[in-house]
Structure 1
Amino acid sequence: MSRSKIWTDIDLDAEGKICGYFRLPLAAHDKSGDDAGYSYEPIPVVTVRNGEGPRVLLMAGNHGNEYEGQILLMKLIRRLEPKDIRGQIIFLPAANAPAVRADARISPLDDGNLNRHFPGDPNGSPTAMIAHLIECEILPRVEYAFDFHSGSSSMEYTPCGAIARSDDPDRFNHSLSYLKAFGMPTSMIIENSTGGDGAMIGACRRAGVFHMSTELGGGSTVSLDNLTLAERGLERLLRHVGVLSGPNTAEPEPETRIVHRVPSRDYVYSDSTQTGLFEPLVKLGEAVADGQIVGRIHYTNAPWKAQEPVYSRSAGIVMCRRVPARTRLGDCVFALARDWQEPPSATERPAEDNYGGNHV
């Protein structure tokens, strides 16, 4: 496979702590602009290395307007020194740097969703070039990749870690231990995830790299509670894989509720033919029943009109909710999950027709 055309001045294999940039060339894509011919897009990268040991990629900004993960990694970058680890941690806190700069889910350069562009293309669009860099230049250097997401601007999630279901019991149990170490209130198993070949999880599968992702809130804001949970969880996780050294100050692993998503057809949608304001009647983490009224839609253009109830079409646990109150026909207002149990056989696993949902 061709080498990446993204270049850098830093040595990813060097000892110590090194901060710099990957440089994404823009001129070849006619994306440098009228006032910046032959320019590049800087993608921040940090490597912290101390001898032999586990090798870990920590990544955020896969979608540019998901903030908790970006802050989480920036704080750790400033705090961590080589003496604190054994092995190596590579940080990509703004992986889709054009989207981060634009404060958008997707890249303004090519409307590219990085988490759908793997394995990428060294001669492709800017987003495809970034995906190729990650899959072909970075993942071969690591054993673990942890990718931090939130709910973007349209959804808010209950904080959770997520892994894919694997047919290899040993590999799956190994990954399951990450969820328990990360220790969010809820953890999610993604069933039948072969549809995610274009996502980071597909790249890790091809590279033989262990993977975990997250949903840490969202709604165009930063939750102090969720960020605190994630900071504590990340310290436990890095100790669990053996890359952190020194005194263990992490809190013990809390209990986590393990769930799997229901198929997308069983999410809760607005079926109203008119746009209105959505009033939620349930909260994140609550259980709902099939047929339960979980919200109402109010019509500002006809305030005397009766509110319209929104019904759950399935039993489950509310994992995320729509944030903008303005809602129209087809908008997902709640995504649901159910408690996960080990399926007896591959033929009896639940169908998963919406790999990755909003992010993972």
Structure 2
Amino acid sequence: MVSPVWTTIDFHKCGVQSDYARVPYSSDTSAYGWIPVPMICFNGGDGPTALLTAGTHGDEYEGQIALRRIARALCQTEVKGRIIILPELNRPAVIAGRRNSPLDGGNLNRLFPGSAVSGPTAMIAEYVTEVLFPLADYVLDLHSGGSSLDYMQVAYAHRGHTPEQDHRIGDLLDCFAAPNSILTDGRGGGGATTLYAAAVAHGVAALTTELGGGQGLSQAGVRLAEDGVRRVLHHFGIVPDLVAPASGPTRKLKILPPETAIYAPADGLFEPLVEVGAPARAGQAAGYLHLLSQPLADPIELRFKADGIVIYRRYPTLTTLGDALYGLAAESER
């Protein structure tokens, strides 16, 4: 089935083109309208193709800003391969400043490989899967903790389906050089329904990031995203003359199982005691949950269930039963 999403960009034409991925959307005010998803294509001829995305969740801003900086730099630099940039991939969510689309409630990073006959969010996923993945050799989907999580700086990748793909993914992680890198088996966090997992299923070398988080903007996260993308474009010969800082060491981690995470046992006010990136010990006090409407009640003491490293922590204080409060990682030999 041909994707209903379309663009005027000719991905095989050399030069710089800027347009939209036009996502059909019939609304009360526009029966035959479309949603504009900004897209830029830099094509310098022979060479690998990098697909760069941000705004998969609308409240995650570090990647959105970094890709704008990269796009402006590419306008002044010779490109040998091809680069396709979508800095506002879930544009309705970006405009609303929300994780999910206000149009259909869709979480784009839980809808891959997508659908051509569902809502606009699934259509975006289908277009990326069916049209853009076949063009790409490398995929980088830039995320951060957004408004609900404070997140350690980390790059994630799924393991490849062949030794050759596995090697390319490892090379991509080392080149991006986040302070921490994780090869995941896909448990939790969306599994196979995420953009980077779907890219790997299509034979592409792909990674995603967490660049910090919380309300506002992490300048350190923006720098990591821009520096990492620059290193990737330079290293793989897509933009050989692009200025890129040298890579530093990356610590290999593994995510601990979901049952080691701490979730809110009731509605309340979350008082954390341990910072992101800090070590945690089983039984150690992690924080308190102060119960709403019960000002004389003792707070619920929260304790870690395993040894590890705090990889994320809930940012908002107001908390609902079931909210994720802490997640743990541990050092890995791989």
Where does residue 256 of structure 2 map in the other structure? 262
Equivalent residue, structure 2, for 1:319 = 311
8 Å CA contact 1:158–1:285 kept in 2: the answer is: yes
Q: Equivalent residue for 1:92?
A: 86
Aligned partner (choices 313, 317, 328) of residue 320 of structure 2:
328
Match of 1:197 in 2: 192
Query: What SS does the corresponding residue of 1:151 show, helix, strand or coil?
Result: coil
Q: 4+ runs of 1 displaced by more than 6 Å?
A: none
Given the superposition, is the C-alpha separation of residues 85 and 263 from structure 1 closer, same or farther in structure 2, using an over 3 Å criterion? Answer: same
Alpha carbons of structure 1 residues 65 and 182: separation in structure 2 relative to 1, 3 Å? same
More displaced stretch, 172-181 vs 210-219: 172-181
Residues 332-353 of structure 1: CA deviation (Å, up to 9, x unaligned): 21111111124xxxxxxxxxxx
Residues matched between the structures, number: 333
Question: How far apart, CA to CA, are the structure 2 residues paired with 1:300 and 1:97?
Answer: 36
CA distance in 1, matches of 2:150, 2:104: 26
Correspondence for 1:143 among 132, 137, 158: 137
Q: What is the alpha-carbon distance in structure 1 between the residues aligned to residue 240 and residue 75 of structure 2?
A: 11
Cα deviation, residue 238, structure 1 = 1.8
Aligned to 2:220: 225
Opposite residue 61 of structure 1, the aligned amino acid is G
What residue number does 1:353 align with?
none
Q: Superposition RMSD on alpha carbons, in Å?
A: 2.0
- CA shift for structure 1 position 288: 0.2
Summarize the Cα distance change of 1:293–1:149 in structure 2 as closer, same or farther, 3 Å threshold.
same
Following the alignment from structure 2 to structure 1, what is the Cα–Cα distance between the partners of residues 96 and 274?
33
Amino acid at match of 1:24: V
Map 1:47-86 to 2 at 5 A: 47-81=41-75, 83-86=77-80
- What runs of 5+ residues in structure 1 fail to find an aligned partner? 343-360
One-letter identity of the residue aligned with 1:114: L
Q: How does the TM-score come out when normalised to structure 1? A: 0.87
1:280 to 245, 255, 272: 272
In structure 2, distance between residues paired with 1:167 and 1:95: 26
Normalised by the length of structure 2, the TM-score is: 0.93
Post-superposition offset of 1:329: 3.0
Indicate the SS of the match to 1:8. coil
> Does residue 302 of structure 2 align to residue 341 of structure 1?
no
Q: Are the counterparts in 1 of residues 112 and 194 from structure 2 also a CA contact under 8 Å?
A: yes
Q: 2:142, 2:225 within 8 Å by CA — same for their partners in 1?
A: no
Q: CA deviation digits over 1:206-264, x for unaligned, max 9?
A: 32111110011222321012211222222112222221221x63222111111111111
Corresponding letter in the other structure for 2:159: R
Deviation at 1:169, TM superposition (A): 3.6
How far apart are 1:79 and its partner, in Å?
2.1
- Matched residues in 1 for 2:292 and 2:139: separation? 46
SS at match of 2:193: coil
Render the CA deviation track for 1:44-79: whole Å, top value 9, x for unaligned: 000001110111100111111111111111121122
In 2, distance between residues paired with 1:45 and 1:252? Answer: 29
Of the candidates 114, 129, 133, which is equivalent to residue 127 of structure 2? 133
Residue 165 of structure 2: aligned partner? 171
Question: Residue 7 and residue 160 in structure 1: after superposition, are their counterparts in 2 closer, same or farther (change >3 A)?
Answer: same
Distance in 2, matches of 1:163 and 1:265, equals 21
Quick one: distance in 1 between partners of 2:248 and 2:203? 29
Q: Secondary structure at the match of 2:206?
A: strand
Amino acid at match of 1:280: P
1:40 & 1:341 partners in 2: Cα distance?
48
TM-superposed CA distance for 1:285, in Å, is 0.7
Q: What does the per-residue CA deviation read over 1:278-315, in whole Å, with 9 as the maximum and x for residues that have no partner? A: 22111111110111101122346444443332100111
Partner of 1:309: 301
**Closer/same/farther in 2, CA of residues 198 and 302 from structure 1, 3 Å limit:** closer
- Structure 2 spans left out of the alignment, 5+ residues: none
What does the per-residue CA deviation read over 1:78-110, in whole Å, with 9 as the maximum and x for residues that have no partner?
221274321100001111122212221112222
